[in-house]
Amino acid sequence: MASNTGPEPCVMVIFGASGDLTHRKLIPSLYDLDVKGLLPERMTVIGVSRTPMTDQQFREKMLPSVQKFSTHFEQPRWAAFASRLNYFAMDGAKLDAFPALVERINSLARQQGIMKSSGGPNILFYLSVSPELYEPIVGNVGAAGLVAEGKRWCSIDPHETPWQRIIVEKPFGRDVASAVSLNRALGRVFEEEAIFRIDHYLGKELVQNILVMRFANSIFEPIWNRMYVDHVQVTAAETVGVGSRAANFYDTAGALRDMVQSHLLQVLAMVAIEPPSSYEGAAIMREKIRLFTCARPVPPADIPRWGALGRYGADDAAGEPAYESEKGVDPSRRTETYAAMRVEFDNWRWSGVPFYLRSGKKMAVKLTEVVVMFRSPPTNLFASLDPAAAQRPPNRLIINIAPREGISLRVEGKVPGSGLKIDSAKLDLDYHERFGGEVTEAYGPLILDAIRGDRTLFKHRDEVESGWRICQPFLDSPDLRRSIESYPPGSWGPRTGNELLRRDGRAWHEPQAGEVR
Ligand code: BG6
């Protein structure tokens, strides 16, 4: 969160109010923000979906989710928060339903005293519906006259003219062409500055901390390049399977689309971008775009050696099915629940340094981390005294994003005693031990940023499109898809995933039992 300015009153309209994300993340995050006094005092939420419901029924439906997923549930506070929640039943894909929605927005804004003198309230739209509804809803929001943002800049007092912004959930398209089309649809209605393409990984503390670590310290930047870094690994491993999500989304997406193209590329960008000119949305986005556009194109014939796909097998002990037997899965699609790929950037800083990305379901542990592996010393001074010294591992920096946020640096040291024996030791910074605080759900701070108009932690259209361009050859490769392998649940993925690094004389970092970094 870059901004420290107070958020303005607004109406938040959530399309997809009966969906899973609204229950599990959006409403509990809003509740938590409210409890901490961070929401604008005059802010009202309208949940929109097709199921008929009264305001009261909507509030009752949200209550168990807030009890379960919020960090501070208390009944009296819930009552105050629930009065902010309203519901409006409509099909967002049908334009004729919109005049009544406009009326509802305006009447709630009047009740709350948040109409601006030049007409209408500030409105934050949130698109949390099936992706095929994104373009129709955005088109209808525009056709219904709900967006006047473009006129704001030519008004005498822009602060008296309401803003309209939109948060767009992932998946942001399913390939380059659909992402371009969605960006065009959004651009016909909203200014780019009013579009907040959300990636909840950018709301995670340690992801933001990568930039702080790199640019608030002077010791890392001089060695953060091809001269000193051998390679970088970005891992997002989960222990959960796909379960009921297979039928409604996952089987037509897979791990590359679901995790790699979105979250992992964003984490990678934080590690690899050049220093931005300021800690502001536009400056950071510019650097991410510059980085992505210099990703080295991989010839189609090489893709099977630059990527690996897998899907989890059955867990007989737990009585859980293999991915292919999950309800709603079409095995002929060969959808992956594990994906790994190698990316290289043809720029002065990173030329020749591979970035390996991997993500999988039903893996050995829940782990999200970045591993920066440094080069070995150019010559080994100690090899004649301690033959094992020749095999010592190089320095390694691990940034643990989950489950235990922190940073560790492996260094080599002399074991006390006579003679010369070398062993590894870790310098470890545990984020919570040092800074305290609590783990916050990433959605809340990001929604607050959108209300403030701060795009630092969101994605620009060019960034999204160039991210797809990096992944598209891997999605399109029939050879890569044919090579998909099963892996045992609770393992580190398929053999081909390990091969990807072994071929380059490297190995994935796998924490030992009980080790967090
Ligand atoms: C979501 C993906 O975006 O991120 C899910 O759609 C995944 O498949 C989730 O489980 C992981 O998020 P986190 O914050 O638990 O790492």
DSSP 144-188: TT---HHHHTTSS-GGGSPPEEEEEPSP--SSHHHHHHHHHHHHH
Neighbours of 471 (CB within 10 A): 24
Q: How far apart are CA 378 and CA 400, in angstroms?
A: 28
CB neighbour class for 239 (10 Å; exposed up to 12, middle 13-18, buried from 19) = middle
Enumerate the active-site residues. 263
Beta strands in 275-366 (DSSP E): 307-312, 338-343, 355-360
pLDDT in tens, the chain (517 residues): 444 457 899 999 999 999 999 999 999 999 999 999 999 999 999 999 999 999 999 999 999 999 999 988 999 999 999 999 999 999 999 999 999 999 999 999 999 999 987 779 999 999 999 999 999 999 999 999 999 865 545 555 666 789 999 999 999 999 999 999 999 999 999 999 999 999 999 999 889 899 999 999 999 999 999 999 999 999 999 999 998 888 878 999 999 999 999 999 999 999 999 999 999 999 999 999 999 999 999 999 999 999 999 999 999 999 999 999 999 999 999 999 999 999 999 999 999 999 999 999 999 999 999 999 999 999 888 888 877 777 889 999 999 999 889 999 999 999 999 888 899 999 999 998 999 877 677 899 999 999 999 999 999 999 999 999 999 999 999 999 999 999 999 999 999 999 999 999 999 999 887 777 7
CA 442 to chain centre: 9
Atom of ligand 1 nearest to the CA of 201: 14
* Tokens describing residue 157: 């007092």
DSSP state of 232: E
DSSP state of 363: B
Q: How far apart are CA 503 and CA 356, in angstroms?
A: 13
Atom of ligand 1 nearest to the CA of 258: 6
How far away, in angstroms, is 241 Cα from ligand 1 center? 11
Q: How far apart are CA 87 and CA 47, in angstroms?
A: 5
- What is the pTM assigned to this prediction? 0.93
Q: Which residues line ligand 1 (CB under 6 A)?
A: 236, 238, 258, 368, 402
Nearest residue by C-alpha to atom 4 in ligand 1: 259
* Tokens describing residue 302: 């090489």
Sign of torsion over alpha carbons 74, 76, 80, 86: positive
The answer to whether residues 499 and 493 touch, using CB atoms and an 8 Å cutoff, is: no
How far away, in angstroms, is 238 Cα from ligand 1 center? 8
Nearest to 230 by CA among 350, 340, 379: 350
How far away, in angstroms, is 492 Cα from ligand 1 center? 18
* Tokens describing residue 432: 């919570």
How far away, in angstroms, is 250 Cα from ligand 1 center? 12
The answer to whether residues 492 and 483 touch, using CB atoms and an 8 Å cutoff, is: no
Atom of ligand 1 nearest to the CA of 263: 3
Q: How far apart are CA 509 and CA 179, in angstroms?
A: 33
Those residues with Cβ within 8 angstroms of residue 64's Cβ, 6 or more apart along the chain or in another chain: none
CA angle 302, 305, 306 (to 5 degrees): 85
